[in-house]
Structure 1
Amino acid sequence: MDILDYGRMSNLPEPEWLVGGLIQTRSTALMFGKSNSFKSFLAIDIGLSVDIGQDWAGNEVKPGGVLFVATEGANGVGRLRIPAWYQHHAVAEEDRRAFLYPQEICLDTTDDVTALIAAMNLRGNFALVVIDIFGGSMKGSEIEDKTARAWVHGIQRILRETGASVLVVAHTGWQDDTRARMHTHFWGSFDTRLRMEGDKDALTATLTVERHKDADSTGSWGFRMVQSNGSLIAELDASVSTGGGKKRTLSAGNKSALNALDDALQEHGVRKFGQDWPPCNVVQIDQWRRHCYLHSPEDKPNTKLVAFNRARKALHDGGHIQFYDDHVWRCFG
């Protein structure tokens, strides 16, 4: 590809949506939440809506082939959950075109990525790959930098060589349910992050756009899980509150500071070793502060500094970040 001059770069096309307001074409999206928050059922709902070209939650969908990579419970996904969704929505047999990759896969291993891409290209054009669950899609540890970089490289190969988007389902951390349980390099690599919250007793769930890198980061939907054909089907329900309740305690300023920390970690993060350092990348506090200033709506330097110090204290007091020796990192399990 040629180097672009200003005229060509400024005329690059606007991102296209695969699922309006939710997932862009040729992009990576992360859906994360606690266990029993109905993440897998929502991922199936999104994926199969793309498969049949059906609007999702009132948003326009660009139809295309869909592949489910089920690293856990592939039998139940292929035999029960996907057929139940098709039956519930009265989709004719000949229009049921989703595919399942029914074996273990390590996306941090070149040979496994090559085999997946070859299988996809053999079957035709795919618009979306759903990977469920994140922790089962790698050979190494989900908190190791080496694994993270190899895995991200593998995902980017899938995007580049197949043209598909990738939706990854992941659990939140044990100690921090504001983010997925993964190395910071994973976390910062996704174009979109979607937060899932569920009430297993009430059979309700909410899905909220936490961040789009290249679009307005808004959107929240409530769902009721309906028992149908031996499975659960997500149905849009306006009566389900999408306010997030007591779990969503971060202010807009504190969320912005966390996003700035993610950016700083991705750009400047380093690994430190010793009993006082965490098993993840850390970044100098001043580098985080500079990224916060880029996100800040304030004009005056003193006002920016006050806002940064306020967010820094609140995030530390809330257990979202930790410090040592003029460095900072995000807390996760």
Structure 2
Amino acid sequence: MNSSVTAISTTLAEVDALPVTRLKVELEYGSTGYDREQSFVIKGLLPEQSFVSMYGPSGSFKSFLALDWACHIASGIDWDQHKVKEGAVLYVAGEGGFGVTKRVRAWEIRHQGANLDNLARLGVPVFPANYDQVELVVDYYNDIKAKTGQDVKLIILDTLARCYGGNDENSSKDMGAFITGCAAIQQLTGATVLVVHHSGKNVESGGRGSSSLPAALDVEYRVSRDGEDQQALVLACSKMKDSDQPEPKAYDLTSVHIRTDSDGDDVNSLCIIPVGRPPSDDEAPPINTPRWKAYHTALWQSARSRTETNAPVTYALIRDDLKALGFDIKHYARWMEKLVDEGALIRDGEMVSMGQISLEKGES
């Protein structure tokens, strides 16, 4: 396969026309299926066939965490007492693969040579907004399945910025094309798609760019440093669509010696110790915020995205954003009133600004 990176020129209309297969399924009535258990790749953390984002600032160890999850799934080893469903993983290292190889070797040494034959790495970005690239990912999926004999359970895109093709992260149109492409990958492969993403200027306000991304997610995690001087991270869930949100936990990293170079110097890499503990940071991410429906979350995220990018934040513009996302806005005034009453937003006539609530607990 040709792994060269080509320029992307696509429109949302072209992506909406992707040939995604739609199968007629049986109707269900009443509460049928209420006792059906949700399936997970990592139980309680990473649902199967879901769209997930893990965001945080540079240096927050988010890529270390994503790769640690990948290695545990590929090897079938449980992660911090969470059961893991073994399978193949495709890790797209869009920012280059040299550092990733050292991290993988450190993981192997730390876990006493655990088998990672099910872990496939790609050292160049892919661009879901381009359907030719979606088909390329499906080709990789088929190659991996043929080589390992395992279904691909997880596809990681690290990072969104490198797999975005130079488009505008703040554009709902461009983000919509990226989301649609990820959905196509998810549907065509049956894998969970995990996007590693950078946070905005205010880490507590969520991932960078258009609010249409968090609105489309099944699961969203925030990763931050546990204190400025510690080699540790805090993992906090800000959205878990169909299950209970896990409590925030801190995870320490340790240095692992992987080899000695030609000058006789040690070469080391960090590796996560998957044993959670309470965060030591007094400003651990809040999660006990009011329960919102999907339209409340999308409204709040529209205001947040506009604020972070210094765009106008008005009652009418947020309403237009929700309409563009496909929401029926006839009850928009009521939605806005709820968030203002709860202190999540502040309204002064036509102008809207952010309130005190920094993370939503969405429910859709």
Question: Which category describes the TM-score, using the shorter chain as reference length?
Answer: 0.7 to 0.9
Query: Which of 18, 32, 37 is matched with 2:60 structurally?
Result: 37
* TM-score, structure 1 as length reference: 0.79
Q: Which residue of 1 aligns with 2:142?
A: 121
- CA distance 1:115–1:265, shift in 2 (3 Å): farther
- CA distance 1:243–1:287, shift in 2 (3 Å): farther
Q: Which residue of 2 aligns with 1:170?
A: 197
Query: Which of 127, 149, 164 is matched with 1:138 structurally?
Result: 164
Alignment map for 1:10-29 (pairs within 5 Å)? 10-11=32-33, 13-29=36-52
Letter of the structure 2 residue corresponding to residue 214 of structure 1 = D
Identify unmatched segments of 5+ residues in structure 1. Answer: 293-304, 317-321
Q: How many residues align?
A: 302
Deviation digits for residues 63-104 of structure 1, max 9, x if unmatched? 000111011132211x21112111211125x54331111213
Most deviating of 195-204 and 134-143: 195-204
SS at match of 1:153: helix
Letter of the structure 2 residue corresponding to residue 142 of structure 1 = E
- Pick the structure with more helix per residue: 1
Letter of the structure 2 residue corresponding to residue 210 of structure 1 = S
Letter of the structure 2 residue corresponding to residue 35 of structure 1 = S
SS at match of 2:273: strand
**Displacement after TM superposition at 1:176 (Å):** 4.9
* TM-score, structure 2 as length reference: 0.72
Q: Which residue of 1 aligns with 2:187?
A: 160
Deviation digits for residues 133-165 of structure 1, max 9, x if unmatched? 111111212111221111111111111111111
**1:202 aligns to 2:239 (yes or no):** no
Native 8 Å contact 2:88 2:144 kept in 1? no
Letter of the structure 1 residue corresponding to residue 256 of structure 2 = S
Native 8 Å contact 2:95 2:124 kept in 1? no
Q: Which residue of 1 aligns with 2:318?
A: 282
CA distance in 2, matches of 1:89, 1:265: 42
Q: Which residue of 2 aligns with 1:311?
A: 342
CA distance in 2, matches of 1:96, 1:221: 29
Identify unmatched segments of 5+ residues in structure 2. Answer: 1-22, 146-150, 258-267, 321-328, 359-364
Most deviating of 103-112 and 24-33: 103-112
Give % identity.
23
CA distance in 2, matches of 1:258, 1:32: 22
- CA distance 1:149–1:40, shift in 2 (3 Å): same
Native 8 Å contact 1:184 1:266 kept in 2? yes
Native 8 Å contact 2:96 2:123 kept in 1? no
- CA distance 1:123–1:135, shift in 2 (3 Å): same
CA distance in 2, matches of 1:205, 1:173: 18
SS at match of 1:90: coil
Letter of the structure 2 residue corresponding to residue 218 of structure 1 = P
CA distance in 2, matches of 1:244, 1:259: 30
Q: Which residue of 1 aligns with 2:264?
A: none
- CA distance 1:286–1:197, shift in 2 (3 Å): farther
Native 8 Å contact 1:30 1:169 kept in 2? yes
